[in-house]
Chains A and B, each alone.
Chain A
Amino acid sequence: MSRSEQFMIENPFERVGATDHANDPIVRPTISFWSDVRRRLIANRVAMFGLICIILILILAIIVPELSSYSYMDQNLSNTNAAPSRDHFFGTDSLGRDLWVRVWVGARVSLAVGIFGSIIPSVIGIVIGGISGYFGGFIDTIIMRAVDIIICIPSMIYVILIMLVFGSGPIPLIIAFALTGWMGAARDVRGLILQLKEREFVLASKLLGASHLSLIFKHLVPNTLGIVVVGMTMSVPGAIFQEAYLSFIGLGISPPIPSWGQLANLGTAVFRIYPYQLLIPALLISITMLSFNLFGDGLRDALDPKLRS
């Protein structure tokens, strides 16, 4: 042992203490996670284009019905199926109702169903997935098998059933989406939380005595939020499309309240003679869906720059 002994005789350490620079104030402005995301997002032109389209559509949906002299249900039977003109930007339908106003009232309904129809199921998914991932074991097995089973049933079947029970309208539609759409978010969140819960910052909070609820909702879920928000943005076009589809086949929103799907439905009846009555709502559905998809893509890249290839 002479070797280690000889080496150990003198204390090999020298007192260094905290160097001055460890104590230096940090000069650059504080950048939180979300402000960093915002910066990357703004730099992404395509995503910004999508965002601007969404904002434009939202603004029009809010102000047009308020400012216009027509209402979405005023009929004028002496001026039916008019072509687009100065008085009626998008023309009138077979009952003489102004399509410009009806399209933007429809936008309110479609966007509300689209946005709430993706936020509410995501929130349900976060809660269920968070609990499942955090507690693990038996609870996790039960919840995840239930998800597997529910996801197997074609969602259209019970959307239609729910619509039949609750009647048609925006709120039953959102309820139907909430009951059928939470499984994807629950799976995503569970997977992320399984990864995160062994991280040392979670253990540290546990040691400090944090309760289960505060661990799940103050530490774990905020760290999964990025991916959930992307999922939510990407599911908005799906919800809008589903609403349009259901209204188109006559199940979603019932007249006289317009929605884009319903306007398209009315438009098909006269498609050969007045094609614009179908094309305008169809085009708006497409533009909105595209905008949300572009924005969602950009958001995903902004949240995790490593994903961009």
Chain B
Amino acid sequence: MAEPILEVIDLQKEFIGSRKKRIRAVNNVSFTINEGETLGVVGESGCGKTTVGRTIVRLYDADGGKVLYRGLDIHKADRRTTRKLAKQIQMVFQDPYSSLDPRKTVLSILEEGLKIHKLFRTKKERIERVYQLLELVGLNREHANRFPHEFSGGQRQRIGIARALSVNPELIVCDEAISALDVSIQAQIINLLIDLQDRLKLTYLFIAHDIHMVRYISDHIAVMYLGTLVEKASTEQLFKNPLHPYTRGLLEAIPVPDPKHEQQQSTLKGEAKPLTIEHEGCRFYNRCPFAKEICRDSMPALKAHDSGQTVACHMVHSENW
């Protein structure tokens, strides 16, 4: 049985929006990732998935709740531990064009982490390691002295992955790591990530808005809507039997590559509006086709369903569902 490597418990994060309005970007999100597994987080833009990812890597402080890495609360760690954690949790970013410093060569981009953590004593060893990293992600050692603008999007993303790998992390947060790429390149990068997972025993938190891509890489999937987790299930279960109305809507929206297939009107209407902190009911209330009074007045809790997945919906848990 795999050990949990990351536990997120009741994570909360607020931002101050325009006119000092408090916006709760992440609201009581909890999940666990086991060592060597991949958790996919999906949801539409603005649902807080990137915020969750950035809070886990400590780019943001949490406003409530805990993030435990192997039982250690990462937001309460002292400086030395934080430094160690930086080696263990890394991130692959969304935009391959802004995630590499345009003034630096690939070598110095990949070397930075090695220098900061003093992983090698001599320059020669560091360069050797950079070559090794480049070959690991399917690039060529001759690429080391090139500048980022000389590479294509997919190649840049490989460099971004190599940078994350440079300090031998255990957990990698992929924040929309494939969303900015062409579909064929997306597949290449996904395959690369899966290969690396096998070879280096990595654990991924894979954030994306494309549930279709997430399916291919994830062992479990968590669906987020406006800062809350609405459903958590193993990938297989989620696709076979989506419970939450929002998850159903998402799955229905996947285009089918068949010209004879008639696209049905999606059951999802309107768009997600950020809610202020005062909102008490279910966050999906105003778009849900099944909404009842109770949905407006109280927030459903994430509860285990008979089928084994957890879902936050009053209706799903009610008797006559």
Contact = CB atoms under 8 A, between A and B. Distances in A.
Given A13-B216, A204-B163, A222 B146 contact: no
Interface string B113-154: 100110000000000000000000011101101110010101
A208 B113 contact: yes
Contacts of B58: 207
Contacts of B99: 199-201, 204
B59 A208 contact: no
Interface stretch (B40-48, B250-258, B277-285): B250-258
B298 interface: no
Nearest to B92: A204
A12 B256 CA distance: 11
A31 interface: yes
B90 interface: yes
Given A204-B163, A207-B57, A23 B254 contact: no
A161 interface: no
Interface in A198-256: 199-201, 203-210, 219, 222-223
B4 to A, nearest CB: 22
A18 B188 contact: yes
Interface in B52-68: 57-59
Contacts of B73: none
Interface stretch (B23-31, B234-242, B303-311): B234-242
A17 B112 contact: no
Most chain A beta-carbon neighbours within 10 Å: one of B59, B90, B116:
B116
A138 interface: no
Given A22-B139, A30-B146, A200-B95, A16 B103 contact: no
A209 B239 contact: no
A8 B98 CA distance: 34
A5 B240 contact: yes
Nearest to B96: A200
A16 to B, nearest CB: 5
Contact of B138 (A15, A18, A222, A223): A18
A1 B242 contact: yes
Contacts of B251: 1, 4
B138 A207 contact: no
B252 A4 contact: yes
Interface string B147-165: 1001010110010100100
B101 A223 contact: yes
Contacts of A23: 138-140
B187 A210 contact: no
Nearest to B250: A4
Most chain A beta-carbon neighbours within 10 Å: one of B59, B103, B264:
B103
A30 B145 contact: yes
Contact of A8 (B102, B140, B143, B239): B239
Contact of A22 (B105, B109, B113, B155): B155
A18 B192 contact: yes
B91 interface: yes
A18 B239 CA distance: 29
Contact of B102 (A1, A17, A33, A204): A33
A202 B59 CA distance: 11
A40 to B, nearest CB: 15
Nearest to B137: A18
A19 interface: yes
A205 B240 CA distance: 41
B276 interface: no
A206 B167 CA distance: 13
A19 B192 CA distance: 12
Contacts of B152: 22
B184 interface: yes
B273 interface: no
Contacts of A31: 147, 150
A141 B261 CA distance: 59
A167 to B, nearest CB: 42
Contacts of A200: 93-95, 98-99
Interface in A18-54: 18-19, 22-26, 30-33
A29 to B, nearest CB: 10
Interface string A183-210: 0000000000000000111011111111
Give the top 8 A-B pairs by smallest Cβ distance, nearest first. A18-B138, A200-B99, A209-B86, A208-B113, A200-B93, A201-B101, A4-B251, A25-B142
Interface of A: 1, 3-5, 7-8, 11-19, 22-26, 30-33, 199-201, 203-210, 219, 222-223
Interface of B: 57-59, 83, 86-87, 90-91, 93-95, 98-103, 105, 109, 112-113, 116-117, 138-140, 142-143, 145-147, 150, 152, 154-155, 158, 160, 163, 166-167, 184, 187-188, 190-192, 212, 215-216, 239-242, 248, 251-252, 254, 256-257, 261, 264
20 contacts: A3-B252, A3-B261, A5-B239, A7-B254, A16-B184, A19-B188, A22-B138, A22-B152, A22-B188, A26-B143, A32-B147, A33-B103, A200-B95, A201-B101, A204-B163, A209-B86, A209-B117, A210-B112, A222-B103, A223-B101
